[in-house]
Amino acid sequence: MKRTTLFLILGVLGWATLAGADTIFLKSAQESIRGVRIVAFKQGRLEGLDKQGGRRTIMYDDIAIIRVDGQVELNSGEKFLSLRQYDQAIASYRQALTQKTGKAGWRNLWIRVRLMSLYASRGQVDASAEIYIDLAKEIPEWVLTVAPTQGEIRNEPVALERAGGMLVKARDESRSGKVREALAKFYERLGCRQALPEARPIQSAEVEEKDFEKFDQPGSWLDVWAEKKVGVGDSASVLRVTQRLYTTSFRRNLPAVFYWRGRAELGAGDFDHAALSFLRVAIEFPTSSYVPEALFYAAQAAEQAGRSGYARSIRSELIDTFNSSNDYRVIQLVEQARELLNEKE
């Protein structure tokens, strides 16, 4: 059930099947962490497993470079970065993105973060902003923590003005409050000369069911629309829409689809299916921003289905995974889960 358990199983039983190992070089005193297998990059941290199945977590800001077994282009980018040969580093990272192993997973995220900072330091702020915009849609809660700092951004007025325009346009087109906030914060970090224009109001509540078929990214619209429907007890509409979106959406939007399907099933009293929908979010999309609430509601659904043991396990997973979060919304969920656990003991 717990992801930590899955990590241990992978480390203890699966290590022999993993060819080679990775190395993480730290900025402090040229220290390094060797003999690990990097498995994730999330919440501004790189996560790895050692040969004993132990889990290592290192903040992005503490890492100088990494070496990943078998990843030639990525490693070349890291090498050139350490040598301050930035144009060669950019070329290597871009090549790495074309490789099969660089198109998905944590490597893809890592490479784009590297390119975002490199472009900014070379004065190509518009290219950096383009990557930031894409990342903000995927990891809005922590994209700013891995974005280039003001001191790392080279001031090129023309590129800076283009970047500011791109960020404002992307913000106004987004229907997600988290994404809009992330874009606005990076705009401020860039120090754009023009004041940040007033955000256009979100019109999502006016969207009808049939309109969802028109959007490539329905997840951002779904939050506002589905919350309104679930709030008034109209679970049937949300179930219809999420079923249709499940077959038509890009994978990146499925966490929203599964989450709101679970909320609708919970509202309709279909507790077992609701728990399964919520757990699909947590298991299949562990870095999604929907995971904390999905775990919270999964425990609620399991409890209402009479599966108190599962509910306890899920709440424990929520507390263990997000206990150190700085997000106020997540902190509240963790505290509620802890109170419910104590009440049931």
Question: Domains, the chain, ranges and CATH?
Answer: 3-190 (no CATH), 206-344 (1.25.40.10)
- Identify which has the larger pLDDT, 130 or 35: 130
Nearest alpha-carbon partner for 124 in 95, 86, 83, 79: 86
What local confidence, expressed as pLDDT, does residue 328 receive? 76
For residue 304, pLDDT over 90 is answered with yes
- Identify which has the larger pLDDT, 66 or 31: 66
> pLDDT exceeding 90 applies to what percent of the chain?
44
> pLDDT exceeding 70 applies to what percent of the chain?
82
- Identify which has the larger pLDDT, 43 or 218: 43
- Identify which has the larger pLDDT, 108 or 9: 108
What local confidence, expressed as pLDDT, does residue 1 receive? 43
Confidence band of 140 (pLDDT split at 50, 70, 90): very high
Highest mean pLDDT among 30-34, 133-137, 162-166, 328-332: 133-137
Lowest mean pLDDT among 39-43, 153-157, 190-194: 190-194
